[in-house]
Structure 1
């Protein structure tokens, strides 16, 4: 398995696969796997400034699709978490999410909690397309702000 994964990562690292690499990394990082996609976006844009907007759009699309996958995983595992149903923190979180509805998915850009939030939105059966829209908005602005900051506000720091 490790050799297969290493071969794929080497293939994606080739310069001609820059945008596809950003897409794959953004997609995988939006699942529950602990991975960040900002370095891939920044690296590509730093090497080729002409790819700023394409990289932002591709990263947003990949990360949103990964969030959609997390939503579906949450929807599919709704019945598997019945043992936590009675805890007070679970109840508070559910009340908060149900109150906000799909708008809570705007927070899908947050590190650590954003990806599980998408899964919980699916578990709660919040409407899929509104959740997807809010995920895309939040993720787009994350990539836009992070990449712009790294390129123009802190250029000498890296």
Structure 2
């Protein structure tokens, strides 16, 4: 059940929902769970949440002219230009707490090929979760 909770929390954290998977991952990593599986499920959930962002991004052009749409054409143009400056490699930063979700959304808007999208996002998010686990292990080792 803990793995499912971690997966769902990591998934939610990658969307616009307020969730903090690092806290749950850190708590579980300090217990007797296999670290690989904690890392795997957190990375998988967070990556899949970013794929949802990418899917939403791919739908933006269908809705951008609607009155209720929350982003102006000017904002979309600026986001596309910023993304083009660094290209799909910027998806490696999809793990950032501020702006990371927007990067994956713009990656969808820019129609980054799915394989590239998933690989780049998974690398960034996997490295972030590996770092969280490392910090928890180091903190635990220093406390003993």
TM-score normalised to structure 1 length: 0.78
Backbone CA RMSD of aligned residues = 1.9
RCO comparison, higher one (Cα < 8 Å, 6+): 2
Matched, 1:26 2:10: yes
User: How far did 1:92 drift?
Assistant: 4.1
Question: Is 1:76 aligned to residue 59 of structure 2?
Answer: yes
Partner of 1:32: helix, strand, or coil?
A: coil
Question: Is 1:106 matched up with 2:89?
Answer: no
| Structure 1 stretches of 4+ moved >6 Å | none
Over 3 Å counting, the alpha-carbon distance change for 1:92 and 1:73 in structure 2 is closer
Q: Distance in 2 between matches of 1:74 and 1:86?
A: 16
- How far the C-alpha of 1:77 sits from its partner, in A, is 2.2
The structure where helix makes up a greater share of residues is 1
Matched, 1:94 2:62: no
* Unaligned residue ranges in structure 2 (runs of 5+): 66-70
Q: Deviation of residue 104 (structure 1)?
A: 1.3
- Show the counterpart of 1:3: none
The TM-score, its normalising length taken from structure 2, stands at 0.85
The alignment of Structure 1 onto Structure 2 pairs a total of residues equal to 137
